[in-house]
Amino acid sequence: MTPPRPSPKGEGKNLLIFLAKKVDPCKNCHSDIQADASLCFHCGAVQNVTDVVECEQHAGEPAVGVCVLCGKPACGDCAVSVGGKFFCENPQHQELFKQWAVVHESDFEFESDMIQRNIAAAEIQTKVFSFRSYLGTMWLKEWKPVRVLVPREQFSQATDLLQNLRLLNEQKDDNHGRHSDAE
């Protein structure tokens, strides 16, 4: 699991907080996640939550997972599990997951828009997904709600560009370590 990036003030502070938190295995994929996590960011499976995450399509029906690409909560009837990862019913998301990588995640639409515009100006295709599009995932603290994706074959070019523009603090592994096992 990739730890959170340290804040500019007090380098390493977030890392120490992360390391001090209890880690448990995901109920679905057995990846290490924070013990109090609502979701596993490796596979999208809903974990222990006090407030039930509801399916976006079926109000009142508990979600079993969220789409690892767009964050849409899905119940057992709607969720599609491929390779141990949850997807929404949109079959294009499974293909996008294989062909695209997350180059940036943010809490802020503005920041992601700035990143997306800079990458697009370098003639690299982008796609943006916001977990804020769904009521069930708007409140999740452990997921950055806005993701900027690029084609996997252009991932290094996009990260180099962002580093040169000083918009990316460190080199990221494919999909921030979240989806690199998709192939």
Asked if residue 150 has pLDDT above 70, the reply is yes
Contacts 24+ apart (CB under 8 A), 57-61: 57/89
Who's near 108: CB < 8 A, 6+ residues apart?
A: 146
Residue whose C-alpha is closest to residue 23's, from 51, 42, 9: 42
What CATH class is the domain 13-177?
A: alpha beta
CA distance 151 to 110: 22
Sign, CA dihedral 116-138-38-169, equals positive
Backbone angles phi, psi at 92, to 5 degrees: -65, -30
Predicted confidence (pLDDT) per residue in 23-33, tens digit:
889 999 999 98
- Does the model's pTM come out above 0.85? no
Predicted confidence (pLDDT) per residue in 82-136, tens digit:
999 999 999 899 999 999 999 998 888 889 999 999 999 999 999 998 877 776 6
Is pLDDT larger for residue 86 or for residue 14?
86
CA distance 166 to 161: 9
User: Looking at residue 179, what is its pLDDT?
Assistant: 42
